[in-house]
Structure 1
Amino acid sequence: MKKLLLASALMAAASTASFAMNMDAELPLSIKIEARALVPNADLDNLTEAQALAIANAVHGDQGDAAAQIRSILING
């Protein structure tokens, strides 16, 4: 069981790191669509790399209110 959890944690860390390396402050279209479904008037252009990664994490995270998280990221930078 511990090996399974460790493998899952390593894969999650690796996928996040590879996503961050390929980000170039531009959200992939699939994430933009999901984010705009949550926050219809969101301006997802000209994001910093940190904002783009945070929005992607909010869309695919399990912390609850992703719409509020996206609004906060866009307002607070």
Structure 2
Amino acid sequence: MFCLMTPVLGTPIAFEGIDKKFKKFMLEAEVLEDYICCINSLNISLDDRKQFKESFLENYTEYSIVNFVTEKI
């Protein structure tokens, strides 16, 4: 959902291996109250969402497994 400018809500395990520069769109929650708090306090501007999308897609394309394997061959 990151590429759709939609924040992702999940446990800390859900975000393992994802670069911390995307932290603003990774909403960590473990118990019901955490999920409710994250949802109710969500406030990310459209400009921030657009900038995040561009950054995520650029990073995703640059570090895709296809590019990694191609470079190693």
Structure richer in helix, relative to its length: 1
Q: Do they superpose with TM above 0.5?
A: no
Structure 2 length as normaliser, TM-score? 0.31
Q: TM-score, normalised by structure 1?
A: 0.30
Tell me which protein shows more strand as a share of its residues: 2
Q: Which has the larger radius of gyration?
A: 2
